[in-house]
Amino acid sequence: MDQKWSINYYKTASKKSPIEEFIDNLTSAAQIKVGDTFDFLKEFGINVGMPHAKKVAGTPLWELRILGQDSIRIFYITQKGRIFLLLHGFLKKKQKTDKKEIDTALKRLTEYQLRDKD
């Protein structure tokens, strides 16, 4: 059996984790769904496809789609060493993903990459 993937959460320069805060503010039922989806992602890695994961066109981002009563979305990237870096989570309220949600994830990715160079 192949090695499982691991999941890291984006942290700000002050070590806060917006992803953890987002998950902590979800209902208990939603938190369980998120945990189950994370387990699925760790097990199957980049082989996870629709309806659970989808590439965000024109960006390096992937969208983790947690289906249920709430449409939970988490943007992430893949990294060397079988690692997923979770960047931004939100509740999707419209059919089309709001550009500001994608921009937030891209901003965090840029900040992470700049900090990681140090």
The answer as to whether 1 is a domain residue is: no
Is residue 37 in some structural domain?
yes
49, part of any domain: yes
Kindly report the number of other CB atoms within 10 A of residue 1's CB atom: 4
Domain that holds residue 51: 6-117
CATH number, residue 59: 3.30.2310.20
Tens-level pLDDT at each residue, the chain (118 residues): 568 999 999 999 999 999 999 999 999 999 999 999 999 999 998 888 888 899 999 999 999 999 877 899 999 999 998 999 999 999 988 888 889 999 999 999 999 999 876 5
Give the count of domains, the chain. Answer: 1
pLDDT at 98: 86
